[in-house]
Chain A
Amino acid sequence: MNLEELLSLSLKAIWGNKLRSFLTTLGITIGVFAIIVLVSIGSGLQSYITHEISSLGSNVIFVMPGSSGGLGALLSNKLSLQDWKNIQRKTISTAKSTPEIRQLETLKYKNLKSKGAFVFGVSSSYPEVVATAKIAQGNFFTAGQEQSGSNVTVIGQTVVNKLFKGQNAIGKRIFIGNKLYTIIGVFAKIGSVAGVDADNLAVIPVETASVQYGTKSVSRIDIAANNPDLLPIVIRQINQTLLKTLTSDDYSIQTADSIESTISNITNMLSLALGGIAAISLLVGGIGVANIMLVSVTERTKEIGLRKALGAKRNDILKQFLIEAVMLSVTGGIVGIVLGMLVSIVIAILLVSTVTLWSVILAFGFSVAVGIIFGMAPAIRASKLNPIDALRYE
């Protein structure tokens, strides 16, 4: 029998048992669907984060309190405002920098509130260091305003919308915590970062923040080298400066590249884990195929006996059932791939998700393999049936 005949034979058998075939393929469909969607979410997350990080710029360095990956920083933050000042002095000709004192606050204007807003105490260099901080209206505060501890603020789009209904906010005074600040500028829209609204933001001078929140510690220091080639020199200068007062366990230096590779590792693991979970459901689907094929072989014992009596060789019978199993699982696989891609596209609109070619190929390959692996045992059983016994079977 040639392939065309085998395919039409299998198609007839599958079509002849529509409901059962549908339910069997459903198991594979769900497994493949899960692989496509979960892997798409995983890699969507990865490319999103990678994109976010590369938008920071390849010349950006972050100094974080505590050793890399350690939790020590949460207990005792030894990175201080003074450390930033030392760095700033040392890198005066190679980089711009800003500390960040980060707080969550409620912002108020008259009876309107914006809860859970980020308040960042930063230096006047902030817009030059942080790529996403673009001024849309008004001005950023000056070095003079920064050092004198002025009560001025630059706010994000969400704050403008919530407190001023999108109307002009420049010159208005709002409460940040229990202090009044004058709005001197508005940031351009940043968007949401990993599901968090980055525009619910008020930036104030670092000295002002230090006084208001009674802290000399900084959440991190952002440094932008004047050009990417200076990065190694700037890192050396930072280490030289910080090691005078701190140990290497008290801080860690991260660049866009190092963050990217760390996060890539995490999201790769995530993709694999999600894919693995999905693969288990595909395995269950495969067992369903094996089960239905065994039932089918038993039901069609008489047919197998007759075909053998009429001249079918072992291989003819083996191929017939194997191709049927593969067809079942591949049909399920293709439906799963199409559904998975559609759902991934919908998810991409709401969250992040990227359909990757490798997950489609993998899912398709998996469903073929599942068909062969789980179809093999029933097909072998069918091919070994003795024609006399099979013909007598009722």
Chain B
Amino acid sequence: MKTIYDIIKMVNITKIYTGADVETTALKDIDLTVRKGEFLAITGRSGSGKSTLMHVIGLLDTPTSGTYFLNGTDVSKLGEDELAFQRNKEVGFVFQSFNLLPKLSGLENVILPAIYAGVKNADRTQRAVELLTELGLEDHLNKRPNQMSGGQQQRVAIARALMNDPELILADEPTGNLDIKSGDDVMKTLKQLSKEGKTIVLITHEHDIASQAQKILHLEDGMLISK
């Protein structure tokens, strides 16, 4: 029996962007708790602060105020390199536009996070091959992204997100650039990962995608509204 605890715990998270002469409040007093193994969808229109929240959750951006515990570590006051370390260890990203490096093969793309984690070459290659095989891409190890379909590319990106075995998978509109069939495949994979115990945070503006999660939170003008 796994211990259930909070993988994300945000208290009073506020993010204010300071422009030349205007201040924009992108997130306002966000309180968010996500338990380990949960499959959560965050929805909202463009401009609602969705992307900012995703960046803060994924440690790509730091909040202006508030506290944020990620998997038990207070990450709200960390410096750039410490954030990079936590990101590498705790978060797997799946982006809308896949964000695979075009000059690397599928295998090399999947290995990237392990390189920055300092995993030995033989070990990381073995794990990447296993992950890609699990996702049905064993024939695409040495193909470049432009030789693969969108669905295949997104599965490579999911394998990459899983490479360092993080607790949290952060998926930002993962089906946005895919046809319906490939989108369904990706959603199935995410649901399967959720069953296996991964925590999934899905950010989307599509209601039928969000509805596949266990829980949906709605973001409006930088504030969270439970649905």
Contact = CB atoms under 8 A, between A and B. Distances in A.
Interface residues of A, number: 21
A195 interface: no
B81 A314 contact: yes
What does DSSP make chain B's interface, helix, strand, loop or mixed?
helix
Contacts of A312: 84, 116
Interface in B5-54: none
Contacts of B55: 388
B198 interface: no
B112 A310 contact: yes
Interface of B: 55, 58, 60-61, 80-81, 84-85, 87-89, 93, 95, 99, 101, 103, 112-113, 115-118, 160, 164
Given A388-B55, A388-B60, A310 B103 contact: no
What does DSSP make chain A's interface, helix, strand, loop or mixed?
helix
Contacts of B95: 391
21 contacts: A16-B103, A302-B99, A303-B101, A306-B99, A306-B101, A308-B84, A309-B87, A309-B93, A309-B99, A310-B88, A310-B160, A311-B85, A311-B87, A313-B80, A313-B85, A313-B116, A314-B80, A314-B84, A388-B60, A391-B60, A391-B99
Contact of B112 (A12, A307, A313): A307
Contacts of B112: 307, 310
B49 to A, nearest CB: 14
A52 interface: no
B80 A12 contact: no
A216 to B, nearest CB: 84
Given A302-B99, A303-B101, A388-B55, A313 B60 contact: no
Please name the 4 residue pairs, one residue from A and one from B, whose CB atoms are nearest each other, closest first.
A311-B88, A311-B116, A313-B81, A310-B113
A314 B116 CA distance: 11
A88 B84 CA distance: 90
A2 to B, nearest CB: 8
A332 interface: no
A5 B108 CA distance: 12
A310 B88 CA distance: 6
B60 A387 contact: yes
A260 interface: no
Given A309-B87, A311-B117, 17 more contacts: A16-B103, A307-B112, A309-B58, A309-B60, A309-B93, A310-B88, A310-B112, A311-B88, A311-B116, A312-B116, A313-B80, A313-B85, A314-B80, A388-B60, A388-B61, A391-B60, A391-B95
A353 B101 CA distance: 50
A1 interface: yes
A16 B103 CA distance: 8
